[in-house]
Structure 1
Amino acid sequence: MRTLFSLLLLLASLQLASALDAIQLVTAARKQVGVTVSYDPAYTTLKYPGGDVPEDRGVCTDVVIRAMRKGLSMDLQELVHEDMLSHFSAYPKNWDLKKPDKNIDHRRVPNLQTWFRRKGYELPKPAEHPDVSLFKPGDIVTCMVAGKLPHIMIVSDQKTADGRPLIIHNIGSGTVEEDRLFDFPLTGHYRLK
């Protein structure tokens, strides 16, 4: 009986820690609204680790990178680069690179999708018309814009009046929190555990 109680207590504490991490991720993403005010995909040489483009600009991946770095102390620049150094063949070859590039690899949606999948964060692929209850605050969702542009966003803890979660992302005019979860075909769903 005592072992069962200990196990239940452990599970409850893990669920609480996961929920707190999700809120920290959402809070860190939301703090970028009004700070990151432009979309700028320019290649930039970054310091390593912990490199970033100027905070007033960036792309969709930079929202996730900054939120994970500030909210969870996880540096995707370093994590993705180190994994690519060891497992380069597991990553997409969309850019004809011969080796990892610590300045840009973590800023590419297909590479983040690969890293999330490799680390066990991937959830079942969303259906064409997914149930909104499947999306929790702090989830990371990918989609395809205009049929060819990979995009990434963080599920907010805020919802529409009819219960659809808002998302936090940069799709062209800086970081915003808005109702666009189902505007584009979803290609991936990830939850940091």
Structure 2
Amino acid sequence: MKADFSAYPTLWGLSSPDRNIDHRRVPNLQTFLARIGAEVPLTEGPAPYLPGDIVTWMLPGNLHHIGIVSDQRGADGTPLILHNIGAGAKEEDILFAYPMTGHYRIGADEAARLKALQ
């Protein structure tokens, strides 16, 4: 982020990165994941969502949220989501509970791009 601050959302009125929180802001994470080529098309069915995938949503009140697809499934076969919405980490059936804003997968190519950033 420091190397290309202008590529990231300007939602917080900052003129430079804030190392205390930028790594936790969902829009920043979405931008970073897109920049390394990790975007996967959004779909309505559960099949394309694999364990380890990252999903983002817009919650009521314009709150950005992020979670990781679990290897466990709900009763209807929908993958469960690992997330923390303020009450500690939970594994819940929320994949399609809110409007989805992003789906990301870090495969070998994306992992290589991440490693190159170090």
Q: TM-score, normalised by structure 1?
A: 0.54
Q: Does 1:184 align with 2:94?
A: no
Residue of structure 2 in register with 1:163 after alignment: 77
Alignment of 1:93-132 (within 5 A): 93-124=10-41, 126-127=42-43, 130-132=44-46
Q: Identity rate of aligned residues, in percent?
A: 60
Q: Secondary structure of the equivalent of 1:117? A: helix
Q: How many residues align?
A: 107
- Considering fraction of residues, name the structure with more strand: 2
Matches within 5 A, 1:81-96: 84-96=1-13
| 1:101 Cα deviation after fit | 1.4
- Distance in 2 separating the partners of 1:131 and 1:138: 17
Looking at CA atoms only, which structure, 1 or 2, has the larger radius of gyration? Answer: 1
1:47-86 equivalent positions in 2, closer than 5 A: 84-86=1-3
Pairwise CA RMSD of aligned residues?
Answer: 0.9
1:161 Cα offset (Å): 2.1
User: Any unmatched runs of 5+ in structure 2?
Assistant: 108-118
How far did 1:89 drift?
0.7
List gaps (5 residues or longer) in structure 1: 1-83
Matched letter for residue 107 of structure 1 = R
**Separation (CA, whole Å) in 2 of partners of 1:164 and 1:145:** 19
| Distance of 1:95 and 1:161 partners within structure 2 | 40
- 2:60 matched to 1:146? yes
Q: What do residues 118-138 of structure 1 show as CA deviations (whole Å, max 9, x unaligned)?
A: 0111111x24xx110010000
